[in-house]
Amino acid sequence: LASESQDKAEAQRAMRRLERAARALQAQLDERDAAVQRAADDAARAADKTSRLKQQLDAIEEAERAARVARKRAERECDEARDRVSRLEKDNEKLRARLDAQRTTPVF
């Protein structure tokens, strides 16, 4: 009877040790699952941020292209305006020369 009682007590102690070990393993699994979830959340946030940054980069590149086109148009218009000014200055010089020639030519 004493031996049986000792065996029963030993079995209960062994059962408690196994339960503690099982709880410890479950806690480790829970920690690992939480770490995996945090990593997945971090990866999702990083993917979202990457997507937003790519959209911003695309918008910046489009704005840069539009600015480049506008600059070229402005340069072309400036060149055309310079050409017009140059032609008008030449025409003006010719007209002044004709006017001066008419003033110095005696009228008969």
Confidence (pTM): 0.58
* pLDDT of residue 84 exceeding 80: yes
* pLDDT of residue 65 exceeding 90: yes
Kindly state the average pLDDT of the residues 32-45.
98
Distance (Å, whole) CA 38 – CA 55:
26
Confidence of residue 96 (pLDDT cuts 50, 70, 90): very high
pLDDT of residue 108: 62
* pLDDT of residue 72 exceeding 90: yes
Distance (Å, whole) CA 71 – CA 77:
10
Distance (Å, whole) CA 20 – CA 1:
28
